[in-house]
Every structure is written in C-alpha cells, then in structure tokens.
Structure 1
Amino acid sequence: MKVLVIMGSPRKGNTYRAAQRIEETMRSLGDVEFEYLMLRDVGLEPCRGCMACFEWGEERCPVRDDAPAVGQKLHDADGVIFASPVYGLAVTALMKTFIDRFSYVFHRPRFFDKKALLLVTSGAVGEKDVVDYLDSVASIWGFDVASSAGIVTNPNITPGQARANDQILDDAAREFYRALAEGRERRPGLRSVIIFHAQRASFDELADSAPTDHAYWKEQGWLDAGARYYTDAPVNPLYDVIGRIVERVLRRRIRRDLAAMR
C-alpha cells in the first residue's frame, strides 16, 4: 500500500511528528510505503483565478509549475494523508495554494479509488473546523475519507493530553490501514449524494457555458438517465429520492435564470 502525505506545514514540527506517529502505527500493522510531499519544497504558484481550467480544461492553465507532477503523485497513491496545522483558524497558505491549484477537481472529481486520512494540529483551537474543511475538499474530489485526527499540541499540554493525542493518532492510523487493506467502497452519505445531483443538474443545464465540465460528466456516464452516483456504490434509496428532488429543483431554477438572461 502506497501512502502519500501532503504536508502543509512549512516546517517539520508537530504536524510532521504526528504524521510520523501514524506511519509508525501503520507499519506495525503490515507492509506500507510512505512518501512525504513537503509543499514548502514544491513549486506551486498561487491560482490566478483566470478560470481557464474550468472553461477549457486543466491542461490550458497558464501557470507552469509542479502541479502536474503533484497530480500524478495523487493518482499513483493508494491513500493520501492531508496534513496541516491550524494557521489563523484555517489551513496553512501552503495547503490552500495546493487546494486552489486543483480547483478544477471540484467540478471534475476523479479520486474515487483512493482513501484519505485528515490530520490537523492546533496550538489551542480550530482543529475541528479545519478537519471539516479538509473533509469537504477530499470528499468532493472523490476520496473516501476513512479517518481523521484533530489534536491540540503545544508546549503546555499535560502528559494525559499527550497520551490522548497519541491514542487519537493511533486510532486514525488503524482505521486508515483497515480501509486501505479492505479496499471496499463505502456507501455515500446524504451530503455526497446531494452534491452529485446538484453538480449533475448544473453541468447538464449549463452545457453551453461549461462545455469542459459537461463533456467530462458525459464521458463518465454521470449524465445518463439512470446514474445515481459517481460510482457503482450502493445508494440509500431515501438519499437517492432526496438527491433527485434537489436536482429537479435546481434544474428548474437554472432554466428560469437562463430564460431571464435572454
């Protein structure tokens, strides 16, 4: 099993040591290969917001940096650990730049065969909110978020808190390893099903203004009448009904807005 750690910290501090703890625990369970991608050492320029990747495809991005190589590493891994300390109640600038450079994946998700672990450290507060943010990013990109760990690390934590942190990291590592070893696709939650149907409505109805997204979705078969989700994973029938209602309402709204613009 090949695990890629996207390290959003600009230094090898608490977040890096937490990732190493996870690696140690996973190695005790079986054969696993770890690679650390330190974003501080990767040439990723800030997104320019030109929308070229949305309108014409990521290959038309005017920025020439290491994004294609990073993307290949994501595709080559079996599992990805998204690791970031909390800076200003959010991910680091390094992590945000990484996410922004792959914004097109929000429209054209693709990592459905990958598992993810979310790792966040904070000095006092914010770890839960940042875990939630990374969960949204990874899930919409297609990752199966198998586990997460949000811990508070500072020089003043008690020995009891340190032991609790280690337990959180160990539990997350075991869940992540188990998910990778089983390789089983889990049933999507309600939020994921709703996102699928909302995107399906948008990229189908807006084919003229979003031709690249429409073509991608059509190629994947997600615009077919019987499509229920991005993959063949079983969908809760109730979630499917709710998702289709959301899609129907959104389609009507888009058509009404388009008609008003003519």
Structure 2
Amino acid sequence: MRIVVLHGQLHKGSTYNITKLFLDNLSDENTEIIEYFMPKDTPSFCIGCFNCFTKGEEQCPHAEVVQPIVKAIEEADLLVLESPCYVYGMSGQLKTLLDHLAYLWMPHRPHPKMFSKVGLVISTAAGAGTKKVTKALKDNLFYWGVAKIYRYGKNVAASSWETVKPEKKRQIEKEVIKLASRISKQIGKTKPGIKTKAIFQVMRMSQKINDWNPTDREYWLQKGWLDSSKPW
C-alpha cells in the first residue's frame, strides 16, 4: 500500500502527532509513506493564469514543483490531507498547493485513479474550527473524485501536543485506532458513491454541450467519458 500525506505545516504539533498515530495504525512493513510538508514543499502562489485549464497542467509556471506531488497523489492508495485550524480555515500554505490542483476537479480533468482511492482529512484546534477545516479538505478530495473520504477533527484544548491532557490523548488514541481499522477495510475495495456518480454525470453533460475549454473537452473525449464509459 502507498500512502501520500500532505501536511499543512512544518511544526510537529497536535495535528502532526495525530496524523502519525493514524499512519502507525494504518501501515505495516509493506507500506510506503510519502510525506510533503508545507511550506517547505509549497509552490509559489497561483497567479490565476489559467494555463493548467486551457493549455495543460505542464504549462503551469510552477509545474516543476507541483507535478511531482501530483504524480505521487495519482499512485497513492490512501491520501491524507491535514492542517491545524488557522482562523477557521486550513493553513495558507496548504491552500496554496490545493489552488494549483483545481484542474483535477471533476468539472475539468479528474484522474481516473482518483475514483478508487480512499481519503482521510485531519485537523486540530485549541478551540473551535476543525469542522470547517475538515470540510474544506474533504471538498477538495471529493471533487478530485476520491471514492471514500473520512474526517477526523479534534478540539485538543491546548496550544501544543505536549500540553494536551493525558486523558484526552488516551481518548484520541482509542478513536484513531477505531477509525484506522475502518479505513483499512476500504483500501483497495472502495467505489464511488451516488453523489460522486451524480456529479460525474452532470459534468459529462456539461462537457457534451459546452466547448468553452477545448483542453478539458479533448481530455474527456480521449478517456471515452462523453459516451457511456466511466472511470470506475
């Protein structure tokens, strides 16, 4: 199994440590884990040039940084996106990377392998906000076409992992073990749900009747998706 993790931060606080708990419970000696840490691995800000949409993702000014991450994502069985809650949202450095991946959304050029992947999104906060972060991260995975997505958000009531109360850490560990077991059972076996299939059909019809972006339309034609073919 291959796991790709997009860390929304460099510091190893509560979100990182909970992510590591998940990885410890999801992996074995045959598991390959590839990790990217923001902002170390963050590309420059998206400049809104539309090259990825209209000319192809390789024409992005930051393709040299973005595309190796995309290739790793495409080959993963499990995708993990995590970020601490920063003012009721994900970290800006992770958002910067995700901005570059808009062309992977179902309205544009979703990769066929996305429809068989499992996703996990994780966030922590000293107070509130993890629901908003995990929802935003889940939305990105959903519109990439990821078949099954799990969310884990936790109010740790502390500003560092070291100061999280022992009883809360024990509770977190129990929850992580339970959820990791559920995730393990889905890897390699999951298929898109009704909502994903419905969005895909809407996008199929949109590609049939609209030609505002020939690059997207040609992609769908090459995949055979404008007829009855499906990516799952």
| Shorter-normalised TM range | 0.7 to 0.9
Structure 1 vs Structure 2 CA RMSD: 2.0
Unaligned regions of 5+ residues in structure 2, if any?
A: none
Larger mean Cα displacement after TM superposition, 62-71 or 157-166: 157-166
Equivalent position to 1:176, from 180, 183, 186 = 183
Tell me whether 147-156 or 12-21 shows the greater mean CA deviation.
Answer: 147-156
Deviation, 1:157, is 5.5
Distance 2:198 2:84 in 1: 30
Deviations 1:210-250 (A, max 9, x none): 101111111222210x35xx434xxxxxxxxxxxxxxxxxx
TM-score, normalization: structure 1? 0.78
Shift of 1:137: 0.9
| Contact residue 118 and residue 145 of structure 1 kept, 8 A | no
Match of residue 144 from structure 2: 141
Matches within 5 A, 1:2-13: 2-13=2-13
Query: Are residue 199 (structure 1) and residue 200 (structure 2) matched?
Result: no
CA contact (8 A) 1:40 1:94 kept: yes
Aligned to 2:110: 109
Larger Rg: 1
Share of identical aligned residues, percent? 26
Do the aligned partners of 2:90 and 2:133 also contact (CA within 8 Å) in 1?
yes
Q: How much has 1:6 moved relative to structure 2?
A: 0.7
Measured in 1, the distance between the counterparts of 2:83 and 2:148 equals 16
**How far is the alpha carbon of 1:59 from its aligned partner?**
1.6
Q: Is the 8 A contact 2:7 2:82 kept in 1?
A: yes
Residues 67-93 of structure 1: per-residue CA shift (max 9 Å, x gap)? 011112112322111111111111111
Cα shift at 1:168: 2.4
* 3-state DSSP of counterpart to 2:72: helix
What secondary structure sits across from 2:83 in the alignment?
strand
The answer to which structure, 1 or 2, has the higher relative contact order (CA under 8 A, 6+ apart) is: 2
* 2:156 aligns with one of 153, 158, 176: 153
**Counterpart position of 2:21:** 21
Q: TM-score, normalised by structure 2?
A: 0.87
Change (3 A) 1:210 1:64: closer
Q: 1:45–1:65: 8 Å Cα contact kept in structure 2? A: no
